[in-house]
Every structure is written in C-alpha cells, then in structure tokens.
A = this chain, B = another copy of it.
Amino acid sequence: MRPVFKIWLENNGKVFGEGPLEILQKVEKMGSLRSAAAQMGMSYNKAWRLIAALEERLGYHILEKRVGGASGGGSKVTSNAQQLMKRYSDFKEEAAIMLEKLYYKHFEDFEGD
C-alpha cells in the first residue's frame, strides 16, 4: 500500500497543476505549443484548449503567441507563468517529501496489509 497525491491551484476552477507545468516546460524547450503537444503525444487541439482555459481563469496570459511569419509563428512562456512554474514545482517537490514522511509516521506499523 502506498500514498498517492495530487496538488493543484484553483482560482475559478483549476488553474495550475502537473499537466500545465509539463506543457509549459516543453513550450520553453520547443518554442511552439504545437510541437510541445506533439512531443507529449497530445493533440494540438487539446493543448490549446487547456492553455485557453487556464488563461481565462488566471486572468492573464501564460503564453505570448505569434501567428504567421517566417517560422509560422510560435509561443513563449510569459514571465508571470515562469514564476508560477517555478513556485508550483518547488512547492510540489517539497510536498512529496513531506507526505512520504508523514505516511510512514502513520502507517509504518499498520498490519492491515
């Protein structure tokens, strides 16, 4: 038996979590939402809707988007979103460690399994 957890941020509905973090990391690396989605095996359509929903709930943009041009365009993570990524990521990492410890504290002598 093992503990599993999910942590996310809410504002008017879910605003940031594991999924968005991963997408944004890929966008930083690839330079476009389309190729980021492709690399994750996710359809561009899904990725786009996910980002759109987040931006609406957050009330500010997490991607600077350019349409057209030499390369067709591309997307860049805003500095606001970069901060959010770092904070959420650190927060989650620490949480994982604490929860693991807490689990052992409460369950190490449990005989139910």
Q: Which residues of A contact B (CB under 8 A)?
A: 1-11, 14-15, 58-60, 80-81, 83-84, 87-88, 90-91, 94-95, 98-99, 102-103, 106-107, 110-113
- Give Cα A1–Cα B59 distance, bound, in whole angstroms: 11
A3 to chain B, nearest CB (A): 6
**Most interface-central of A9, A11, A90 (chain B CB within 10 A):** A9
Question: How many copies, total?
Answer: 2
By the criterion CB–CB under 8 Å, are A1 and B11 in contact? yes
- Give Cα A45–Cα B11 distance, bound, in whole angstroms: 34
* Chain B residues whose CB sits within 8 angstroms of the CB of A6 once the complex forms: 5-6
Give the top 5 A-B pairs by smallest Cβ distance, nearest first: A91-B106, A5-B7, A80-B112, A87-B106, A6-B6
